[in-house]
Amino acid sequence: MQRKNGILLHISSLPSPYGIGDLGPEAHAFVDFLARSKQSCWQILPLNPTNSGTGNSPYNAYSASAGNPLFISPDVLMEQGMLCRENVTPSSPFAQDHVEYARVVAWKNHLLKIAFESALPWLQNQQAYTTFCSVNGPWLEDYALFAALKEHLQGLPWYYWPEDLKCRKTEALSRWQQKLSLEIEREKFKQFLFFQQWQTLKNHCNQQGITILGDMPIYVSLDSCDVWSHPELFVLDSHLLPIFVAGAPPDYFSTQGQLWGNPVYDWEQMESTGFSWWVERLRLNGTIYDAIRLDHFRGFAAFWQVAAGEKTAENGVWRPSPGKALLTKVRAKLPDLELIAEDLGYITDDVRELMAAFGLPGMKILQFAFSANLPENPYIPHNIPRHSVVYTGTHDNNTLKGWYQQEAQPAEKAAVQEYLGLQGRDKEIPAALIRTAMMSVANLCILPLQDLLELGAEARMNTPSKTDGNWGWRVTKEQLSSGLAIRLARMTWLYGRSPAPKIATKKTA
């Protein structure tokens, strides 16, 4: 496998005059920046519609299949004649360095209603739209109704909806489908726009020889279309509320563990269906991305289960998962699917065996490398295997600069300096760690853009267990300079990570 280099940057973090990164001109400009920088991969976070009530996390979305309408580009809609300049001019400028989520959500939703009203007279006669709705019907019909109901009921979680809707009684669904027919059509239209713009962006990436590495959370949110439309696939009580929830056990970083709150899967029920829900989920993701990072991969071997109502994750238990049977089925149905395992945290032999059985590369994080047992540490560069993906940090970590300045203990700092031969030269540490990651033997090296820009803790994307203030950082156009592209291109060549040949495009469902 050819050595490759890539950048981690979510769509929301792109430059844009509209308060949040989107799939329009600035996303295409970023692809051109990647090409000039000789990058082969762009890693992003999940693209699904986020929930403002749970902190706008892309890992706690309303749907595992739908795209986030906030990423629809107003500029593209203007080009298509659905909006005019007056529509897309905000009453006051949005912040350029972070996402003002509450303001962006209200403004973008209003904009998409205008676009829908503009398109409505010809929409049903457009072949591309009708084909999209037909091909994606298995998930789109449920999601459009779910989203329309949620708007009508002022954001109320589905498990608090009227009983007949909560339990999906046929008569109630039929009645509300008729009552909200226009709103349902608008939700389908937004998904059509999202995937149309996404496909154009992905094609641009692939034409430049750049692959897109997507991210798929293992769990789905309780307040999601997935749980509402398929409650039998989750461990729920008679009121359709979780009996158990997912999390992670106590460890060095969290003495009380992590309580995520997602409902756990009824794996026996899933296996009885031939894992059809998983196969379809991965099939769709395989058309959206060129490769998929499976978040919290250890959950496919065994998962930490906590009784609903617990305040912390301390009193949980490990439960086995049928990961081998699931991945065997996936390989049979989707043989060309390229997967990467997020194997961070408490990793046991069964997880390693599962990865080895299916040849899945794991992740190596340099911020975790400088422990007391440094020579044997699996994340230290001299121990990183070729069949892996090396990172300076992930979206859940502080930036390199922020980590070194604020989080690394004195012993860790001393180990970093000694390992790199930079005693007393703190300012050079972030850049040196980037070069160390790139010169490692790992086939793929992924660098968060914040680290390349040598930004501090103010640019951190997410702090786990922190309920607000996450997912907001954005890069400015000025930071994506030609000088940065030249320096990155030189390092990419120097460490043998030049781009792969251009690849054929795959059509999004």
Catalytic positions: 295, 342, 396
Going by C-alpha positions, the residue among 1, 443, 25, 26 that lies closest to residue 9 is: 26
> Bridge partners of 497?
none
> What does the alpha-carbon distance between residue 421 and residue 55 come to, in Å, rounded to a whole number?
41
Coil vs helix vs strand at 72? coil
**Pairing of the two strands 41-43 and 258-263:** unpaired
> What does the alpha-carbon distance between residue 283 and residue 120 come to, in Å, rounded to a whole number?
31
User: Whats the size of the chain, residue-wise?
Assistant: 509
On the CB side of 166, CA atoms within 13 Å amount to: 14
Alpha carbon separation from 197 to 203, 204, 332, 509 (Å, rounded) = 10, 11, 31, 13
Question: Token digits for 430?
Answer: 């972030």
> What does the alpha-carbon distance between residue 58 and residue 51 come to, in Å, rounded to a whole number?
8
CB 262 within 8 A of CB 246: yes
- DSSP for 313-372, please give it: STT-EEEE--HHHHHHHHHHH-TT--EEE---SS--HHHHHHHHHTT--EEEEGGG--ST
Q: Which residues contact 450 (CB under 8 A, 6 or more apart)?
A: 399, 459, 460, 461, 473
